[in-house]
Structure 1
């Protein structure tokens, strides 16, 4: 899946770059669409050999997915083809299932995928093998099991399966299917390696299908002056669903335009069917940047003078058409002065594999910089030391210089500088001067040419779930990816029986809003406003309303841990849960304040603009968090480095104390009583 998708993206970009810039054309806007076009095989169709069992709940993962409430066991056989048996470790305990197709399944690397949804217990790993009739070879994909119960659905391009043993693929030196080769699969085998005899391996879905990737036309008022037509087609209000006909959220009409699968990447391409005069790429850049600057909604939030910006842009437009480099440099500087992390002219330099992050985590307390954590077992005695200088440069001077390479407010740039100031390449070393707790001054040299020995379990991993004292649940969400929903539901029984929940969103910069909506839906018992979405291009403001989940419901009080790197979708979750009276936020700072929709606009020459002018979100109260953030309900002051102790930090202690003493007092509920209230 990933390799074929990357290949197609490269083809599209090359085609756009090579496209004549003086072609007689107007413009149209495209976006990505990914859909299953044809199911070639589904294990659920094997009704003579398998019997689905009820009582399972395979949750939604993909945007157009639906719940599956049954599963089936496939295993019991140990009779395997010789080639597969030779691929297994000697003496390994395994169970297997094999199916031979009456008619071979025809597939290709660039379109065909293997799709799986599994429920597992006491299983270490499993492998899927498919047999090619064309070259008589077996191809394999192996999967480790990261956690128990429902697994993250797997989508893999058939071409990513690797051949085992024997000769290479016919007419190729590669060990995988040739890109354009039409292959015929005549057998599929699954081999499971259990951890104990009492294991569970239940299949919710097992399919071979053709996955269509395409560019579809997209209409949105932001682009109307560019394409010279007015947006008229709109999507239905209910666009997110837990399962068929069970809406979770009513969304604004303009959240998506003409297709549900529209994502965050948009491509402006020539439309040779339009009867408009041709425009150069330079003129297109001027038009789209002019449109964005005129609609940009956060001038006041970022203390930027709109009239001065427009005057500067007018001067930049006077540069001759031949001075493209000067034009683009001037635009990049103009946009950079906004100090908005969601507004940028995107440059993607190849990152050097030699650059390494520092084994030290720095933290500022009362304008002094301390070593708050050490990710290297050889440097653990540095925790709590105050940094005096870096390579003989006073620490405050070094931070000021490092802040200059970052974007955002002064506070945000300074915080980012603390994260990057000790990055170095592998061949380098850095000398820091520190003051110990006994006020002794010493120099410490950090080398980057060796492997950092990180203690196991040093920091809470994404998705980490623990039961703390007093039966309080701890759940870490480092990013809002679809697996969060599955991981959370895997612990539904423990959560249901707990006294309260500590949700750790520290340094969670955002992600998929669908996951936020699904999680919120399990904590409410009547509709609640999740925010108001504004389309700057036409001034439309509409409310987004979340409805209770039809299956899962939790009444446990929640304490949310946050910091100044908690942003975007995380801020939406915090705001909605607080507005619904279901959670409190604890922090020693406000959140970052960047809750707006980010899109990427790619022009025919590869020039890319990142902007938040497409759509902005207001809190349920009608206020914006942009550049202001969300203030915590419980301000927790960090007095010293000990307050940041690993797995025993002050924020966590306060959260568990509040929940343990039953002193959680929810806000007065301000929920929507019915859909009609906001229609």
Structure 2
């Protein structure tokens, strides 16, 4: 079982069962109690295992050169009364499958198989439950492995191979939102002990009064009582809007907005659950328009798809991709759309809304497009929406994809900021550090985990640095979040290496923080390039509140009203401006065609 991340942005958990008609909000925390280190001969090594979730980085390891057996001392057998798991992190080279055999006092023999992922390099840390029989305890563990190509060198290195008691513990959320009715958390949080925020050695400084509980990214709500689930949703939305942090930046009068929001919810609560959720989403989108404040639901809706996509170039909505062979013969890429099912496209429309709301329709829907061909001729085509359209691989950028552009340049695509990013960096360090220039492609990257981002940045900055400021609007009420200097400089990107960071209007949150820090602390070697005038400007910690009946509220209004500042500034809706703006003049300038942004970034800054 892979670790579930407990800190902000993405986490998946379950929840307690409320009793006596209560509405309570919970988060989950991992409790990991070490029992025994199977590998006790660890020593300093040339390997560096980065922070992963709740486990700090390690530069000690043990190399396994042959099949080995390790005996477990009998004096710890009482520790096996609780469920026992095996925690391991490892590095492999030319190793096939790894087999860990556990043998108990009653001769029960079980096998834990490890298929190295990736095939070579640092693997992802894993916890595997041993599922021992009642009253059984371990006597020994056998470590066996297969070499893929016997004539070539091989390595199997463990930094951890530990027996642990692993539990998931339910905790009442202390968030201020849940201290108010209809929630009943206030009855319990006064007895709850808070824990200091844990960065596992990554941060040199973090506000002292900010606790781990402030950064639980997923909250589950159990509603056992008389309150209707739609009423619970409405009350939750109002409480969150009361704590929404960006009224000033969005120039919205808070009191008037709260009043109109309550009126809207009262007026629409009689809709069906699915219609109510859709109406709230539409309301939030046209009022605060914040990607960190929206609702998802498990409502079944007709499948919607489209073979045609458009992109705005100048004042035209130009066909940028067609995923249907028959339509490709009828609509040339580069054609300008005029009408969709008789509806004229106007200049104030967003091309993304055209793709998602007008072109994307239920299966078997009739579609009519009026357009002007690149040659200037007017035309019309009709078609029916099919059940499925195959999207070519070059239209689906792979996360953590690396390639050599030429002998001196390397390209690194990043779709999401997770701890896998740091593993991918280390596993490709030789390729990255052999380059004179590096392209970090953060286009479409909507963020991720800020601790993973801080570790990634430390490889490029090296020295201790201010990542961001965290606090309130008033002067003097902000504290610096400082990242420690790199723990091992041999893993850093070389100082003379040039970097271009590719961003767009969808680059958001932690990805914006990475772009900002690289330009600030490597200003002589780093530049930002984009086809858009600025990044998303959506920088805040996001949370997921799982309400009953499959409704999930994504929000940035669950913290303690502190904000993230970059150089003492809020970038909400403003984003980060590129050093070089590339104007898109034709479809051929886009990915995955010519990719003018990448082309110009290289020619201007890396050659």
| Shorter-normalised TM range | 0.7 to 0.9
Gaps of 5+ in 2: 6-11
Task: Pick the aligned partner of 2:169 from 210, 214, 223.
Answer: 214
Aligned-partner SS, 2:247:
coil
Q: Which residue of 1 aligns with 2:62?
A: 71
Cα–Cα, structure 1 residues 414 and 319, in superposed 2: closer, same or farther, change >3 Å?
closer
The answer as to 2:38 corresponding to 1:43 is yes
Cα–Cα, structure 1 residues 328 and 321, in superposed 2: closer, same or farther, change >3 Å?
closer
Q: Output one character per residue of 1:644-677: Cα deviation in whole Å (capped at 9) or x when no partner.
A: 253751111122123334xxxxxxxxxxxxxxxx
The answer as to 2:538 corresponding to 1:594 is yes
Pairwise CA distance, 1:566: 0.7
Cα–Cα, structure 1 residues 345 and 20, in superposed 2: closer, same or farther, change >3 Å?
farther
The answer as to 2:578 corresponding to 1:629 is no
Task: Pick the aligned partner of 1:566 from 501, 507, 512.
Answer: 507
Alignment of 1:131-530 (within 5 A): 138-139=110-111, 141=113, 143=115, 145-146=117-118, 148-158=120-130, 188=142, 190-195=144-149, 197-198=151-152, 199-220=154-175, 227=186, 236=196, 239-242=198-201, 247-254=202-209, 256-257=210-211, 262-267=215-220, 289-313=237-261, 315=263, 335=284, 337-349=287-299, 355=303, 358=306, 361-373=309-321, 384-386=333-335, 388=337, 392-393=341-342, 396=345, 414-418=351-355, 422-423=359-360, 437-438=374-375, 441=379, 443=381, 448-449=386-387, 452=390, 454-455=392-393, 459-469=396-406, 471-530=408-467
Gaps of 5+ in 1: 78-96, 160-176, 272-277, 401-409, 662-679
Q: Which residue of 2 aligns with 1:34?
A: 30
**TM-score normalized with structure 2 length:** 0.77
Give the Cα separation in 1 of the matches to 2:366 and 2:94: 45
Q: Which residue of 2 aligns with 1:672?
A: none
Pairwise CA distance, 1:343: 2.0
Cα–Cα, structure 1 residues 338 and 445, in superposed 2: closer, same or farther, change >3 Å?
same
Task: Pick the aligned partner of 1:638 from 572, 584, 597.
Answer: 584
Give the Cα separation in 1 of the matches to 2:175 and 2:354: 37
Residues 32, 214 of structure 1: 8 Å contact kept: yes
Pairwise CA distance, 1:308: 2.3
Cα–Cα, structure 1 residues 451 and 375, in superposed 2: closer, same or farther, change >3 Å?
closer
Give the Cα separation in 1 of the matches to 2:117 and 2:604: 35
Give the Cα separation in 1 of the matches to 2:217 and 2:355: 30
Give the Cα separation in 2 of the matches to 1:108 and 1:351: 48
Give the Cα separation in 2 of the matches to 1:423 and 1:196: 53
Give the Cα separation in 1 of the matches to 2:265 and 2:481: 39
**TM-score normalized with structure 1 length:** 0.70
Pairwise CA distance, 1:301: 3.7
Q: Which residue of 2 aligns with 1:669?
A: none
Pairwise CA distance, 1:287: 6.9
The answer as to 2:15 corresponding to 1:12 is yes
Give the Cα separation in 1 of the matches to 2:25 and 2:520: 37
Aligned-partner SS, 1:522:
helix
Cα–Cα, structure 1 residues 113 and 557, in superposed 2: closer, same or farther, change >3 Å?
same
Give the Cα separation in 2 of the matches to 1:423 and 1:658: 38
The answer as to 2:554 corresponding to 1:610 is yes
Residues 523, 548 of structure 1: 8 Å contact kept: no
Aligned-partner SS, 2:63:
strand
Number of residue pairs matched by the alignment: 579
Task: Pick the aligned partner of 1:61 from 28, 52, 55.
Answer: 52
Q: Which residue of 2 aligns with 1:671?
A: none
Pairwise CA distance, 1:34: 0.9
Q: Output one character per residue of 1:450-478: Cα deviation in whole Å (capped at 9) or x when no partner.
A: 673735x6654211122223612211111
Cα–Cα, structure 1 residues 437 and 603, in superposed 2: closer, same or farther, change >3 Å?
closer
Q: Which residue of 1 aligns with 2:9?
A: none
Pairwise CA distance, 1:376: 7.5
The worse-fitting range, judged by mean Cα deviation, of 647-656 and 326-335 is: 326-335
Give the Cα separation in 2 of the matches to 1:547 and 1:147: 31
Q: Which residue of 2 aligns with 1:164?
A: none
The worse-fitting range, judged by mean Cα deviation, of 441-450 and 145-154 is: 441-450
Pairwise CA distance, 1:126: 4.6
Residues 174, 213 of structure 2: 8 Å contact kept: no
Give the Cα separation in 2 of the matches to 1:53 and 1:443: 68
Cα–Cα, structure 1 residues 218 and 129, in superposed 2: closer, same or farther, change >3 Å?
same
Give the Cα separation in 1 of the matches to 2:260 and 2:323: 46
Cα–Cα, structure 1 residues 445 and 325, in superposed 2: closer, same or farther, change >3 Å?
closer
Cα–Cα, structure 1 residues 518 and 326, in superposed 2: closer, same or farther, change >3 Å?
closer
Q: Which residue of 2 aligns with 1:120?
A: 92
Pairwise CA distance, 1:570: 0.6
Residues 587, 632 of structure 1: 8 Å contact kept: yes
Aligned-partner SS, 2:159:
strand
Aligned-partner SS, 2:242:
helix
Task: Pick the aligned partner of 1:541 from 447, 454, 478.
Answer: 478
Q: Which residue of 2 aligns with 1:163?
A: none
Pairwise CA distance, 1:149: 1.7
